[in-house]
Amino acid sequence: MAALKFCANISWLFTEHPDFSQRIYAAASAGFQAVEAAWLYDSDLSELQKAKEATRVEVVLINTPPGDIKAGDLGLGAVPGRELEFRKGLDLTLKHAKALNCKRIHLMAGRIPVDAHRAAIAREMEDVFVQNLNYAAGILAKEGITGLIEPINTRITDPRYFLDSPHQAAAILEKVGKSNIQLQMDIFHWQIMDGNLTKNMHKYFPIIGHVQIAQVPGRNEPDSDGELCYRYLLNTLEKLGYQGYIGCEYKPLEEELGW
């Protein structure tokens, strides 16, 4: 079995450095050979390229833009009436992905509109998401890039996020039917959403394109005190033959404690 590979999520780690290019250097100094990030778009792209080339760190994953965060956006992929904005955001993400040789893009679904009820709008949002994912699949396939969709728990993290279970995500992927659109498994979210981690890891492993880890319930280091035994979970991934990177997307405890 190949050894598991880990990457630093520099949206969560090394945040004492204000710029993402600086965080790439910090991650490399800490021993990471790869990084991932949510939104790099406020950083100078040429500086990001210089940091990547100087450190030889691989950029594994970036997200599509969230939209207007101050207005309550967190992705646009499934939001009705925002299709043009989603496509423009995808163009921006693709520009960065190509410049940084990043081969995975998280296509963020977005939130249930504030004035809508989940049950009433779910079908429309799913239809929009499927259409946008099909569009993205064609664009990304030309560049050899994989698109990912990530369910986020609505119990703790984001009550209005549209994509809120691995089962819902898998059903959407089946409707899309494109091999370069896959499932992103954040074990923190999956535990809170559904539990049954062993069963779900085995069930959905064929469509999992990326993995992220953090402890439950505090989203701290995987080896900190909490509900999850990562020795077992990582061993399960290894036995399943997972060969991709595992993103370290957690809040360092020392930052919370003010150390």
| Whole-number pLDDT of residue 257 | 47
b/e for 196-216, b at 16 or more Cβ within 10 A? ebeebbeebeebbbbbbbbbb
Side-chain-side CA neighbours of residue 233 (13 Å): 23
Q: Which residues pair with 109 in a beta bridge?
A: 75
Distances (CA, A) of 22 to 17, 19, 26, 30, 96: 6, 5, 6, 13, 17
What residues does each domain of the chain span?
Answer: 5-248
Residue 258 binned pLDDT confidence (cut-offs 50, 70, 90): very low
Residue 85 annotated among the catalytic residues of the structure: no
Could you give the angle at the alpha carbon of 63 between the alpha carbons of 47 and 110, nearest 5°? 145
Give the largest CA-CA distance in the chain: 51
Residues 1/238, Cβ–Cβ less than 8 Å: yes
Model confidence pLDDT, tens digit, residues 53-90: 999 999 999 999 999 999 999 999 999 999 999 999 99
Residues 197/205, Cβ–Cβ less than 8 Å: no
Distances (CA, A) of 69 to 23, 73, 110, 116, 188: 23, 5, 11, 18, 23
Mean pLDDT computed over 102-117? 96
Superfamily of structural domain 5-248: Divalent-metal-dependent TIM barrel enzymes (3.20.20.150)
Pick the catalytic residue: 124, 249, 254, 255? 249
Angle at which helices 83-100 and 45-55 pack, to 10 degrees? 40
**The pLDDT of residue 40 is above 50:** yes
Residues 97/126, Cβ–Cβ less than 8 Å: no
Model confidence pLDDT, tens digit, residues 176-185: 999 999 999 9
3-state secondary structure of 206: helix
Number of Cβ within a 10 Å radius of residue 133: 23
The per-residue pLDDT of the chain, averaged, comes to 96
Residues 49/40, Cβ–Cβ less than 8 Å: no
Indicate left, alpha or beta for 201 from its phi (over 0: left) and psi (-120 to 50: alpha): alpha
Residue 53 annotated among the catalytic residues of the structure: no
How far apart CA 35 and CA 254 sit, in angstroms, is 21
Pick the catalytic residue: 36, 58, 126, 150? 150
Residue 1 binned pLDDT confidence (cut-offs 50, 70, 90): low
- Cis omega (within 30 of 0) for bond into 206: no
| Whole-number pLDDT of residue 254 | 77
0.85 surpassed by pTM:
yes
| Whole-number pLDDT of residue 157 | 95
Residues 181/137, Cβ–Cβ less than 8 Å: yes
How far apart CA 27 and CA 9 sit, in angstroms, is 9
**φ, ψ for residue 9 (rounded to 5)?**
-85, 105
High-pLDDT (> 70) share of the chain, %:
98
